[in-house]
Amino acid sequence: MSFIADRMRRIDASGIRKVFALAANLRDPINLSIGQPDYDVDEVVKDAAIAQIRAGFNSYTQTHGIEELRVAASEYYQQRFGAPLPNVMISSGVSGGLFLALLATVNPGDEVLFADPYFVMYKHLVNLLGGVCVPVDTYPDFKLRAAELERVITKRSKVVLVNSPSNPTGATLNQSELREIAEVARRHQLLLISDEIYERFVYDGAPSTMVGLNENVIVLNGFSKMAAMTGWRVGFAAGPEEIIQQMNTLQQYTFVCAPSFAQKAAVVALKTDTSAKIESYKKKRDLIYEGLSAKFRVTKPGGAFYIFPEAPGGDGDRFVARAIENKVLIIPGSVFSERKTHFRISFAASDDTICRGIEALNRLASE
């Protein structure tokens, strides 16, 4: 008799973790695999957290989070996009918010639509809940378009997941493109879940949001990328009151609450100027794109800190294996896609690491 639940057959170990396992014994690897900023949490944010710890703010908070951060998150969207967030709750990271949103809304058999390539968690969480994944092919430019989305909608469709800027491709949808998707969702009475964790990392044009484009939108955002608070596990969700209430109920029995001191520090993080960091990452984007475009078919990412080149010969799995043998850590595209033709690079690394990676990858492409 197996003690493992049947639902576990619906998910697989993360392909990213498999890459880390392959690379465990490498000495001085060129690491272009990690999806977290290469800069540290700002000192002013650290100081705020330390002050709260020393002041004794170390207990549980209300499940939906502290009022100060909920208000600050709504005001942040008002200042940045001209649209305040409705019904804000604080989650244990964006991943926690995503899990709660899907758990509260997806029944077995419900279809969840999202762009292919996709963030790895989307597919596995939907499968875990008994939902049906409907990846929408977006090759070669990786933009989810309203017309392509509408073609795959059926009577069982319930949720559309949108991620802009995107992990793993860096593809970015402008306000007009998001509005068209929101209109399709409205016509077909679908729920939108907008993963906006990379919204500060926009290099060409204005940032965009789903807030205000459709009444049935859950917006997810957090501090792992904008403030490098990856280990602090603080995010926020906002949307229709009925759904947010159910997410909050689920949080009571799962995550309980986001870390207390980190919530206080996140208020400071929301008000911290990150423009210099974003400008630095735009230069890293240009560096990696220009360095690879002569040897690889590659689309220039408009945001986030990923680029998604096509592998020479069209076999991303094979190319990644060769790259790891040469001490270059990258992720096969098959982790994020129904295709295996591409691979993901994270340029959240030092310029020196990026240059070393470009040189090694170009050399492999020439062999």
> Would you state the pLDDT for residue 28?
83
Residues 94 and 225 in one domain: yes
Residues 147 and 289 in one domain: no
- 312-346: per-residue pLDDT in tens? 999 999 999 999 999 999 999 999 999 999 999 99
> Would you state the pLDDT for residue 27?
80
Mean pLDDT of the chain: 95
- 236-292: per-residue pLDDT in tens? 999 999 999 999 999 999 999 999 999 999 999 999 999 999 999 999 999 999 999
Query: What is the mean predicted confidence (pLDDT) over 75-99?
Result: 96
% of the chain with per-residue pLDDT over 90 = 90
- Residue 220 within any structural domain of the chain: yes
- Residue 52 within any structural domain of the chain: no
Does 14 score more than 70 pLDDT? no
> Would you state the pLDDT for residue 5?
87
Residues 28 and 156 in one domain: no
| pTM of the full structure | 0.94
% of the chain with per-residue pLDDT over 70 = 97
Residues 74 and 172 in one domain: yes
> Would you state the pLDDT for residue 367?
84
Would you say 48 and 346 are in contact if contact means Cβ atoms under 8 Å apart?
no
Among 242, 270, 298, which residue terminates a domain? Answer: 270
Q: How many domains does the chain have?
A: 2
Does 25 score more than 90 pLDDT? no
Residues 187 and 98 in one domain: yes
Residues 111 and 144 in one domain: yes
55 pLDDT band, cuts 50/70/90, is very high
All residues at 6 or more sequence positions from 281 whose CB lies less than 8 Å from its CB, including other chains:
201, 203, 305, 347, 348
- Cα separations in angstroms, 125 against 5, 14, 120, 325: 15, 12, 9, 31
Q: Give the sheet arrangement for strand 343-346, strand by strand.
A: 306-307, 343-346, 331-332
Residues 168 and 107 in one domain: yes
Would you say 175 and 208 are in contact if contact means Cβ atoms under 8 Å apart?
yes
> Would you state the pLDDT for residue 10?
82
Query: What is the mean predicted confidence (pLDDT) over 202-220?
Result: 96
Residues 76 and 115 in one domain: yes
- Residue 54 within any structural domain of the chain: no
Residues 220 and 146 in one domain: yes
- Residue 139's domain comprises 59-270
